[in-house]
C-alpha cells in the first residue's frame, strides 16, 4: 500500500483533540513536517472500523477536505496521518473569538468552502454523516477543511 509508512518516521507530540473513539496528536513526520496523527483508543471500536476511515480518505483529494498523508497499520496502535491545520476546529476557533466576532464575509467564505467540500464528497457518492463545526478544521489562513470521516458511508 503506497500509504503505509514506517512508524519510526513519526514523532508524537501533544494531544490536540480527543473524541469518543480516538485521540489526535500533533506530530513530526520525518523530522521535517508537522502532521496530525489520529490513534484509536484501546477497546473503543474495532481496528477494521477505524481503518475504514482511512479507506474513505484515500479516495478524497480536494482543497476543502483534510488530506490523508499516510497510515501505519502493521502494528497497534493504528495511526492515521493527516495534514495539520494550525487553527484547529471551527467550533473551538469561534468560541475563542467570542469577543471579536468574525466579519460576515469571512463567515460566508467559510460556509461556501465547507459546502464546496461537501459537494465534492457527494459527487463521490459518499455521505459524511457527522458534519459539525467540531469536524471542520481551519488552516492558518482560515481555509476550512472537512475532517473526521469515521462515520462516512
pLDDT digits (tens, 9 = 90+) for 29-59: 999 999 999 998 877 778 888 889 899 999 9
Please check whether residue 1 lies inside any domain of the structure: no
pTM: 0.92
Whole-number Å distance between alpha carbons of 13 and 37: 10
* Coil/strand/helix, residue 10: strand
Taking alpha carbons only, the member of 153, 147, 9, 130 closest to residue 74 is 9
**Is the peptide bond preceding residue 101 cis, with omega within 30 degrees of 0?**
no
Please check whether residue 31 lies inside any domain of the structure: yes
Range of the domain at 31: 7-146
Q: Which of the listed ranges 83-87, 102-106, 148-152 does the model predict with the highest average pLDDT?
A: 83-87
Residue 38: phi, psi to the nearest 5?
-95, 130
- Residue 136: pLDDT above 70? yes
Residues identified as active-site: 130
Please check whether residue 152 lies inside any domain of the structure: no
Residue 113: phi, psi to the nearest 5?
-70, -35
Let me know if 46 is exposed, middle or buried by CB neighbors in 10 A (0-12, 13-18, 19+). Answer: exposed
Asked if residue 38 belongs to a known ligand binding site, the reply is yes
Please check whether residue 64 lies inside any domain of the structure: yes
Q: What is the pLDDT of residues 97-111, one digit of tens each?
A: 765 688 899 999 999
Please check whether residue 2 lies inside any domain of the structure: no
Q: Is the dihedral angle over the CA atoms 69, 94, 122, 55 positive or is it negative?
A: positive
Kindly report the length of the chain: 153
- Residue 122: pLDDT above 70? yes
Q: How many domains does the chain fold into?
A: 1
Q: What element of type H or E holds 136?
A: strand 136-138
- Contact present, 64 and 147 (Cβ < 8 Å): no
Please check whether residue 138 lies inside any domain of the structure: yes
123 is written with which cell numbers? 459527487
Domain of residue 132, CATH code: 1.10.510.10
- Contact present, 88 and 96 (Cβ < 8 Å): no
Amino acid at each position: 500500500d503506497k500509504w503505509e509508512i514506517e512508524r519510526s518516521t513519526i514523532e508524537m507530540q501533544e494531544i490536540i483533540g480527543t473524541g469518543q473513539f480516538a485521540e489526535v496528536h500533533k506530530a513530526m513526520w520525518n523530522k521535517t513536517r508537522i502532521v496530525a496523527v489520529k490513534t484509536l483508543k484501546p477497546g473503543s471500536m474495532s481496528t477494521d472500523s477505524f481503518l475504514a476511515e482511512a479507506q474513505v480518505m484515500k479516495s478524497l483529494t480536494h482543497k476543502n477536505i483534510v488530506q490523508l498523508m499516510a497510515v501505519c497499520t502493521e502494528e497497534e496502535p493504528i495511526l492515521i496521518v493527516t495534514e495539520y491545520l494550525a487553527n484547529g476546529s471551527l467550533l473551538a476557533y469561534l468560541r475563542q473569538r467570542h469577543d471579536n466576532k468574525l466579519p460576515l464575509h469571512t463567515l460566508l467564505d467559510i460556509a461556501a468552502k465547507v459546502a464546496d467540500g461537501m459537494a465534492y464528497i457527494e459527487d463521490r457518492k459518499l455521505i459524511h454523516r457527522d458534519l459539525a463545526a467540531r469536524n471542520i478544521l481551519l488552516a492558518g489562513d482560515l481555509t476550512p477543511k472537512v475532517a473526521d470521516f469515521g462515520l462516512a458511508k
